[in-house]
Structure formats: C-alpha cells, structure tokens
Amino acid sequence: MEIATSLQQIPSSYIREILAAASDKNVISLAGGLPDEKTFPIDLMKATLEGLSDMPEVFQYGATAGYGPLLTFLNTYFELPESHMAMVCTGSQQGLDLIARAYVNPGDKVVMEAPSYLGAMQVFGLVQADMVTVPQTEFGPDLTALETCFAEQSPKMFYAVPDFHNPTGVCWSLETRQQVAALCIKYKVALIEDAPYRELRFAGDALPLVSDFCPQNSIVLRSFSKIASPGLRIGVVTGKRSYIEPMVKVKQGADLHSSVPMQALLLGLLEHKDFDQHIDTIRSLYKSRYETLFSELQQKLPEGCELNAVDGGMFVWVTLPECDTFALAKSLLSNGVAVVPSPVFYPKPESADAALRLNFTNATNEELAEAVTRLAAGLREQLSAVTNQEVPVFV
C-alpha cells in the first residue's frame, strides 16, 4: 500500500534516532528535551491516583473538549475572558496538529523563526504547508523581516515559541512581543503561541504572553510535560471560541477525546497546595544545571564557538565555525556525548548555520561537566581536521 503524498515528504525524525543511540549507558545525552524523571511530582499526584478508583465517571467516554471540572479550573487558572475557551489535548503536540488540520490547506504559508521546533515542522509538513522562515535575533524574530514577510506573502499564521525557544533558548523582549502582536493584528495573521517552557524561568521577571497583546488573533498552546509529567500526555489549547471549535471537530475524528483519568489526575495536581513550590524546586534544579553547563562551556569550548546565556527553558545553543554538524554529532556520539546538530531545526536544512543544541535538564551537574569535556575534545579534533584538510565548506 503506497503511503500518502503528504507523508512522503516528511523526513524521519533524526532526534528519535539519536535518542535511541543515546540510550547507551556510556553516552551522556544532551540530545533530548526530557525533563528529569526525579522531578516528577508523583507524591503530589499519589492521593488523586488512588482516588481514581472511586470516580467511575472518568472511565466512561468523555466530552471531546475535555473533562468538565478541569475545563472549569483552567478558565480561572488562565484567566480566560468570556469570549475564549480551553480544549484539552493529548499533549500540546496534538494541539499543534489540530491547529494545522483545522486551518492549513496545502500550500498555505506558515511563518516560523529559523531555527524552529522540529515537532512543528513535522505537523505543518503533514498538511503540506509552505513553511516560510524569518531570522531570529537575541530579542526574538527580526521585526523588519517579519513585517516584510507578512506584507508580501500574506501568511495564514505565525508559529512562535517566545519563551525560551526550542532550540535556541531565546526569550523575546517585551518590545518584540508588543510589536509582533501589532503586526499580527495589522496583517491579519493568526499567532500560534507555543509556551511549553514558560514556567521554566530561573532568572529575570516573567513577561506577558505575546497573545496578551492580540487575544483575538491568537491561539496559545500550554504544556504540562515540563512542570508535571510528559507521560500523561495532557496539554491545553486556548483561544477565542471561533478559533477552538473547529479544532474540537477535528479532534472528534482524531481520538474522540483525551484520557479522562489523566485529566482528573492533572486537575488534582494543579489544585494541590504544594504545586507552586514544586515548580520552584524544578526551577532551582535546572538553574544549577544550566549554570554548570554554561560555565563549563565557557571554560572549555575551543575558539570560534559562541554561546548565548538563557534565563530559562531547557536548551543552550552553541554556534560553531562552519563544519559538517552531522559528522560532528556522529563523532561526538562515539566520544560518549549526544547532541543535536542544527540542520534538523530548519525547514531548509541546507540553509542552517553550524550549531548544536545542548539540553541541560536531564543530566546531573557531574555528567554535564564530563559531557562538556568530551564535547570540547571532539570539537577540537573535528574543527582542526576541517582547518588542516582545507576541505570544502560543508552544509
């Protein structure tokens, strides 16, 4: 049976492959985007887990938009105006998939920053969107390029990760947020604001959502995978009713609804008096790991490599002198450290600048220090090889 045309164009996930290789005990993985298993608030979920057997209603079919008591809670939790609604998804990844399926026709233009989140490229690829990229600066998207793009290309939506971007860790400035919102309104472009790392801020003050400045023009994706547990597969999409209702219709066909016991479990967790403190604990842990990774990198990276400080999230982005980053990642893997090379984060991989994404949430401080030692050694070897052999510039 021949696979659908839309699927033929989707590359298989390089990250999945490298994650599989990275499961070797001798490899320290900075490749994934996994939260630390030890941070999962299982103690705070225990009572609800045990109480589920007294809630027969959660074992029956549920409403497509979500478990009623959770939706009621979320309306308050996210301070949704009367015009807006929340829909529960099987992870925020499904929310993104439903947005693409509800709104994007083949050839429709979807704007994103380059580099961008791999899972978003997969989803928009499946609906055969025309993915248009704008460059990213340290404050967010290049606003001149974004306005030109909006004006000349009339895109349908702008997909963005304004808080601690995956893969670069960039957090948009307040001014950028206001200006992007204004551009979305001016050019009638829907903003798809993906906020999975928003709560993982360990420095500076929280900024408003970009969507706060254009609530009628935006859909927000929320994840509980980084602050609670990814295994549950419960995410939330919010936006004005007329934006969310078509997605509910697609979700009916996609999976009828998400697991109700898992929705009840999440509700119990969000209502737990110690949940905020749990988030503070995660933030402190990740802050310490980030600081270790960053200072080790500063000390050990060879010349020509650059890194930007981040205020939260899960990733550090290291830009490199021009080289074949795939070959580099492969050689680093055999050196005992797994990383992700930059081209996988670009809709057009050949246009990628050489860089690596490093994760700091799923390895201990000791492992991070050792990983950087291996990384620096591998980098020196690879970069000097490039220089000495005067090989042509790799993509």
Site for a second copy in 128-157 (CB under 8 A): 156-157
Q: Tell me the window of 123-131, 160-168, 176-184, 343-351 that interacts with a second copy (CB under 8 A).
A: 123-131
Nearer to a second copy, 204 or 253 (CB): 253
Give least dist CB 103 to a second copy, A: 6
Q: Does 262 bind a second copy (CB under 8 A)?
A: yes
Q: What token pair was written down for 374?
A: 């291996």
What separation in angstroms does the CA of 314 have from each of 239, 359, 360? 26, 6, 6
Give least dist CB 105 to a second copy, A: 5
Q: Does 107 bind a second copy (CB under 8 A)?
A: no
CA–CA gap between residue 79 and residue 380 (Å, rounded): 51
Site for a second copy in 204-233 (CB under 8 A): 225, 229-233
Q: Which candidate, 22, 34, 15, places its Cα nearest to that of 336? A: 22
**Bridge partners, residue 338, by sequence:** 29
Q: Does 253 bind a second copy (CB under 8 A)?
A: yes
Nearer to a second copy, 4 or 393 (CB): 4
Torsion sign (Cα): 244, 246, 247, 249: positive
* Strands 84-89 vs 235-240: parallel, antiparallel or unpaired: antiparallel
Give least dist CB 32 to a second copy, A: 8
CA–CA gap between residue 275 and residue 44 (Å, rounded): 8
Q: Does 250 bind a second copy (CB under 8 A)?
A: yes
CA–CA gap between residue 278 and residue 227 (Å, rounded): 8
Q: Tell me the window of 47-55, 142-150, 206-214, 335-343 that interacts with a second copy (CB under 8 A).
A: 47-55
CA–CA gap between residue 237 and residue 84 (Å, rounded): 11
Q: Does 68 bind a second copy (CB under 8 A)?
A: no
Place of tokens 């670069």: 168
Q: Does 162 bind a second copy (CB under 8 A)?
A: no
CA–CA gap between residue 309 and residue 292 (Å, rounded): 12
Nearer to a second copy, 102 or 372 (CB): 102
Rounded to 10°, the helix 68-77/260-271 angle is 40
Q: Which of 21, 69, 77, 126 binds a second copy (CB under 8 A)?
A: 126
Site for a second copy in 11-30 (CB under 8 A): 12-13, 16
Q: Does 185 bind a second copy (CB under 8 A)?
A: no
For residue 173, count other CB atoms closer than 10 A to its CB.
Answer: 15
Q: Which candidate, 94, 58, 73, 101, places its Cα nearest to that of 260? A: 58
Give least dist CB 249 to a second copy, A: 6
Give least dist CB 6 to a second copy, A: 8
Give least dist CB 56 to a second copy, A: 5
Nearer to a second copy, 16 or 348 (CB): 16
Q: Does 105 bind a second copy (CB under 8 A)?
A: yes
Give least dist CB 65 to a second copy, A: 11
Q: Which candidate, 377, 370, 337, 266, places its Cα nearest to that of 31? A: 337
Nearer to a second copy, 37 or 322 (CB): 37
Q: Which of 69, 75, 77, 122 binds a second copy (CB under 8 A)?
A: 122
Please give the biggest Cα pair distance in the chain: 70
